[in-house]
Amino acid sequence: MSTVIAEAPLDVLADFPAIPAGWAYLDTAATSQKPQAVVDAITRGYGETYATVHRGVYQRSADMTLAYEAARRRVAGFIGAATPDEIVFVRGATEAINLVAECWAAQQLKPGDRIMLSMLEHHSNIVPWQMAAEKSGAAIDVCPLTSDGRIDLDALESLLTERHKLVALAHVSNVLGSVLDASRASELAHRVGAKILIDGCQAVPRLAVDVAAIGCDFYVFSAHKLYGPTGIGVLWGRGDLLSRMPPYQGGGSMIDKVSFERTTYAPPPGRFEAGTPHIVGALGLHAAIDYVEGIGLDRIHVHEAALVRDARERLGALNSVRLLGPEDSAGIVSFVVEGVHPHDVATILDEGQVAIRAGHHCAQPLMAALGVEATARASFGVYNGAADVEALVKGIERVTRIFG
Ligand code: PMP
């Protein structure tokens, strides 16, 4: 067992009674398992406290409205937003990016303008911008990576021009685990007058995030990777930007006044939350934030960094394994076993109760840049420990034996 891990054991497996003994769940980057506290919050939300929000004058609805808005305040505090009005509840990071692409980019961009992405982006931080570019006549540029798989900020600095109006980058890569210096990226974007959106999906479960300290304009994440429920996520936007953006969808709740002659819209965040929201999802997200902050993101980061170091060291010692991504990747280890398709790797590991992800991880341009079709990816969460790394390494040794 790694001595580093022994220094920082989280020992929270008991909070996850649904994880069976002996199962090495190493797919947290896709979605995290849920602590009982989140399951209980959701059960209570749909149980004895359930009612709609914002409309009812009866007590239970008023109480649920308070709980829903308390979740918004909790999220604001969690990421350092200036006010809860800057927190828009959406279905997930994908919807958050689509919202900005539709309500900011497609409105603001003109032919000749440029959008800067990076080579390691998730499809959900590529395709919405392609759609916005098509609508507005803007063009897309791609920032390259360093040889160890980080977004190359020196290259970004030299590539950015005054024609770039938007930069959109992942805070942590879902494939390589590379961590972006998001403050420097924001500074570089602002230097040329561009706005910057940070995709924080893989960052919020493992790094303390403060949008004010980063200095970005938009920040997005999904609750389900943060030990919370699916179907809810967050768009944070600077208040002055959100208040100038048109609505995303029309319907109930997002209006100020409706008549057939003229409809006016509610201020943010209500303007962007048409229809009955995912009320219980917000309560689950609140419980998830309480959970991770109860452990402490600094401790989570140290814990996962130790697991990554241990896994990289031991996998790297196997001749058959080629590790991808930087040494200090956050919570995520991507690799290929030479001569074995990652799907075969994942299938054999599953026979030994080790759950990893194999595929392109919704990052096909990155796969092309790496010169691979797919990778095997092990990703860690608070519930993992040295035994999971051990099971992973044993599994890969078995793969190597089977494939000779
Ligand atoms: N960005 C990154 C970096 C991700 O890892 C993911 C999820 N794999 C997404 C965006 C999209 O998140 P969701 O599917 O929850 O909307």
Closest residue by Cα to atom 5, ligand 1, is: 174
Beta carbon of 170 within 6 Å of any ligand 1 atom:
yes
Residue whose tokens read 């190597």? 400
Residues 58 and 69 in one domain: yes
Query: Averaged over 145-166, what is the pLDDT?
Result: 98
Which of 257, 278, 293 terminates a domain? The answer is 293
Ligand 1 proximity of 201 Cβ (cutoff 6 Å): yes
Rounded CA gap, 340 and 352, in Å?
Answer: 17
Element of type H or E holding 189? helix 182-191
Q: Which residues contact 6 (CB under 8 A, 6 or more apart)?
A: 386
Instruction: Write the DSSP symbol of residue 104.
Output: I
Neighbours of 371 (CB within 10 A): 6
Asked whether the predicted pLDDT for residue 294 surpasses 80, the reply is yes
Contact 181, 153 (CB under 8 A): yes
One domain, residues 262 and 346: no
Helix (H) or strand (E) holding 255: strand 255-258
Sort 351 into a burial class: Cβ within 10 Å, 0-12 / 13-18 / 19+: exposed
201 CA from centroid of ligand 1 (Å):
6
How far is CA 52 from its chain centroid? Answer: 28
Q: How many angstroms is it from 202 CA to the middle of ligand 1?
A: 8
Do residues 284 and 363 share a domain? no
Q: What is the mean pLDDT of the chain?
A: 96
Q: What is the pLDDT of residue 56?
A: 75
How, if at all, do strands 375-379 and 357-359 pair?
antiparallel
pLDDT band at residue 8 under the 50/70/90 scheme: low
Say if ligand 1 is within 6 A of residue 379 CB.
no
Residue 258 pairs with which residues in a beta bridge?
263
Instruction: Give the closest residue to 269 by CA, choosing from 39, 84, 52.
Output: 84
**What ipTM goes with this model?**
0.99
Q: Is the pLDDT of residue 326 over 70?
A: yes
Give yes or no: residues 226 and 272 share one domain.
yes
Domain boundary pick from 244, 267, 293: 293
Both tokens of 177, joined, read: 């685990």
Q: How many CA atoms does the CB half-sphere of 44 hold within 13 Å? A: 14
Give per-residue pLDDT as tens, 41-79.
999 999 999 999 987 789 999 999 999 999 999 999 999
Catalytic residues: 362
DSSP 363-402: -HHHHHHHT-S-EEEEE--TT--HHHHHHHHHHHHHHHHH
167-190: per-residue pLDDT in tens?
A: 999 999 999 999 999 999 999 999
pLDDT grade for 3, boundaries at 50, 70 and 90 = very low
The verdict on 139 and 92 lying in the same domain is: yes
Quick one: 77 and 206 in the same domain? yes
206 lines ligand 1 (CB under 6 A): no
pLDDT, residue 112, reads 97
**Same domain? 313 vs 177:** no
Q: What pLDDT is stored for residue 40 in this prediction?
A: 98
Whole-angstrom Cα distance, residue 185 to residue 117?
Answer: 11
Residues 257 and 337 placed together within one structural domain of the fold: no
Nearest to 174 by CA among 341, 356, 350, 334: 334
- Asked whether residue 63 falls in the same domain as residue 163, the answer is yes
Beta strand 195-199 with 375-379 is unpaired
Helix (H) / strand (E) containing 93: helix 93-100
Task: Tell whether the model's pLDDT for residue 4 goes beyond 70.
Answer: no
Compute the distance from residue 122 Cα to the ligand 1 centre, in Å: 7
310-150-237 Cα angle (round to 5)? 110
Q: Are 68 and 283 in contact (CB under 8 A)?
A: yes
* Containing structural domain, residue 181: 39-293
- Ligand 1 within 6 A of 136 CB? no
CB of 232 closer than 8 Å to CB of 92? yes
Q: Domains in the chain: how many in total?
A: 2
Same domain, 113 and 15: no
Give the rounded distance of the alpha carbon of 57 from its chain centre.
Answer: 36
CA dist 180 to 24, 106, 285, 370, Å?
28, 26, 25, 18
Cα 153 vs. chain centroid, distance in angstroms?
A: 21
Q: Is the pLDDT of residue 6 over 80?
A: no
Whether residue 124 has its Cβ less than 6 Å from ligand 1 = yes
The CATH number for 10's domain is 3.90.1150.10
Question: What is the rounded CA–CA span in Å between residue 297 and residue 284?
Answer: 18
The predicted-structure confidence for 79-129, as pLDDT tens digits, reads as follows 999 999 999 999 999 999 999 999 999 999 999 999 999 999 999 999 999
Q: Say whether 360 sits in a helix, a strand or coil.
A: coil
Q: Are residues 305 and 397 in the same domain?
A: yes
* Domain final residue pick, 273, 293, 313: 293
Using CB atoms within 10 A of its CB, is residue 386 exposed (0-12), middle (13-18) or buried (19+)? middle
Here the CATH number for the domain that contains residue 53 is 3.40.640.10
> Which of 122, 227, 234, 334 has the most ligand 1 atoms within 8 A of CB, as the residue to mutate?
122
Is the pLDDT score of 1 beyond 50? Answer: no
Residues 223 and 300 in one domain: no
